[in-house]
Structure 1
Amino acid sequence: MEQNRILISQGNRPWWQIIVAALFYTAMIACLYHYFIEISLRASPRIIRRSTVYLQLAIFFFAGGFSFSVVKDYYFDIKKRKYKIQFCVGPVKMGIWKKFRNLNYISVFRNGRNIYEVNLWYDRNRHFNLMAASEATTALLMGKQLAEKLDIDLLDATFPHNSKWVDKNP
């Protein structure tokens, strides 16, 4: 039986990032608490303007917590020619199915920071950055597995100006 759905997930966040996110969210709740207490107890226009600092801090802390806790998953439905990028924060998941015409190929290349990235190219010149690895062999292995599952070509561009198509069946 042919598998038509593919999931590529970032996995779980490291424990230290979860702790940092929890600290940000706790600070956000404390700021919101102070904001609403200030407004309900002393509702003069001057106090309300001054207490908006708490609201601004709450927004800042929410953004910090979100950046340390969000996980990005990619879903592909090959049969229906759709994909979804799903953002997950704990049990909350958000994403929208979108259509694509063609999956072109997978490329593996080294960026300017000596990190190897695996990209999925679709609809001619659009792409997803699916993963990054510090070693070329790891990135190429992941790229090869994805290319086999999606039944598309793999481009090895780990050496600049010397890219080559990889044979999936050696």
Structure 2
Amino acid sequence: MNKDINRERIVLYDDTLSILESIMAAIMYTLVVMVVLLMLFIFYSLGINEKTFGMTPAFVTALFMFLVPAINISEVNVVELDLKKNQIFTTQKIVFYKKVKVVDAIEFEYVALNKSNFSYTVTIWYQGNRHLNILSFYKKEKALLYATLLCKQVKVDLLDKTSGSSKWIDNSDL
């Protein structure tokens, strides 16, 4: 039964945190808690007056100086494709916050490989003109390999737009 579950959902993109990112995020969140506790301690011990009120911008600046990088470091994005239900799941996780967006894709049409200024983008097109940019690569070989594997899994054709002209590659030729 587990084999069937793995086949119907394909993970297209998963940027789970590395150990270094987890440690850095934990340090940043600890510093955020320390700033809040220090601010509460000063307000409690000195009371709310002009002097402590004047310190508030410094505390707020320090709070956001550590909070914004902590959120950026600890953000995890996952894109999954359900072939049985023809749905695309995009999940965004930040510590205890989790947001899942489900897009119904009636029919997957093709996978496109596009060249931008400094990268190669893999895009899946579905249901008319709707599309989802999945990943960007700096090397064409890696982007082409990822796109061909995705085409084989979804069983659609590949549109290679990396050169001057567009080139269709049939799924059976991949």
For the superposition of Structure 1 and Structure 2, which TM-score range results when normalised by the shorter chain?
0.7 to 0.9
Question: Which residue in the other structure is 2:26 paired with?
Answer: 22
Equivalent positions of 1:1-170 (< 5 A) are 3-46=7-50, 47-48=52-53, 50-89=55-94, 93-113=98-118, 115-159=119-163, 161-170=164-173
| Distance apart, 1:36 and its partner CA | 1.9
Change (3 A) 1:36 1:100: farther
Question: What is the TM-score with the length of structure 2 in the denominator?
Answer: 0.78
Point out the structure with the larger helix share: 2
| Distance apart, 1:26 and its partner CA | 2.6
Question: What is the TM-score with the length of structure 1 in the denominator?
Answer: 0.80
Distance in 2, Cα, partners of 1:53 & 1:104: 54
Letter in 2 for 1:51: T
Change (3 A) 1:81 1:63: same
| Distance apart, 1:163 and its partner CA | 1.5
Give the aligned CA root-mean-square deviation in angstroms.
2.7
| Alignment: residue pair count | 168
- Per-residue displacement from partner, 1:125-154 (whole Å, max 9, x unpaired)? 333222222221211111111112112221
Change (3 A) 1:23 1:76: same
Distance in 2, Cα, partners of 1:42 & 1:143: 62
Letter in 1 for 2:172: N
Change (3 A) 1:35 1:102: farther
Distance in 2, Cα, partners of 1:92 & 1:74: 16
Contact persistence 1:7–1:74 (CA under 8 A): yes
| Ranges in structure 2 where 5+ consecutive residues have no aligned partner | none
